[in-house]
Amino acid sequence: MDAALITAFLVTLGAGLATGIGSTIAFFTHHTNRAFFAASMGFSAGVMIYLSFVEILPKADARLASGSETTLNSPESSGLTAAFFIAGMLLMALIDNLVPSSSNPHENTDVELIGEDRRPQFQAETSKMMRMGIFMALAIAIHNLPEGLATFMLVLEDPKVGIALAIAVAMHNIPEGIAVSVPIYQATGSRLKAFRLSFLSGLAEPIGAAVGYLVLAQFLSDFLLGAIFAMVAGVMVFLSIDTLLPTARNSARGHLTVYGFIAGMAVMATSLVLLKL
């Protein structure tokens, strides 16, 4: 198998399995450091948004221009890039709307509520907790499918940029692991069951990458790659605006989110410049 494919798959697998890290943190930490969490989520959003606009969209424009036999940055290629970028955001919005808000971790923007210790007192409450954890795991798995394909395809195109994006996705997946493991652990008292379900929800990321690539491999062209990259940018921008930044803002007072966001952009910009030296 091509070494590039193996690398892309392993990077995507690592990003997905970060949910397991979140699950482990939930077992040993009852109170989350809000300041660190807010800065981290802001940092991750800064990385994703900077990469989307500075690296991914230009790659999409170049591929679409080549695939549609138009010139780079022409009205035609720019229009196609914008259309697929918006399509990526709409895809994530559709997925969000298909998942009930009570079971959707993207709808819960308070980190303390995600990790709050809520021990059920009665059988009905235990059942409710179990159901909540299972639905959250399914919701995260659904969200991770397009994220996995996006990360995989970008690592194939540009490993340095793709790995940076994978790190940002992994940071985002940690609180999702907490969201799954806490209700399952409270309902069953079993760390193993909670970790297993959280771990499995993260596996949707490499599964999305593998299935997506196998389906699309025979159709890959400059035009299709350009469309995928533009949609990847849309997915990442939506994820940042809909989940990362609101969660960060609700987790700490002051400007920690903004500082983290700026730091994420600055680190990404600096690293991209250094890579070109």
> What residues form the annotated binding site for Zn(2+)?
147, 172, 176
Residues annotated in a binding site for Fe(2+): 144, 147, 173, 176, 205
Helix (H, G, I), strand (E, B) or coil at 7: helix
Query: CA quadruple 141, 132, 200, 28: dihedral positive or negative?
Result: positive
Helices (H), the chain: 3-16, 18-28, 34-51, 57-67, 75-98, 111-115, 123-157, 159-188, 191-202, 204-216, 222-239, 245-251, 256-275
Residues annotated in a binding site: 144, 147, 172-173, 176, 205
**Helix/strand/coil (H/E/C) assignment for every residue in 204-263:** HHHHHHHHHHHHHHHHCCHHHHHHHHHHHHHHHHHHHHHHHHHHHHHHCCCCHHHHHHHH
How crowded is residue 159: how many other Cβ atoms within 10 Å of its Cβ? 15
Rg from Cα positions in the chain: 19
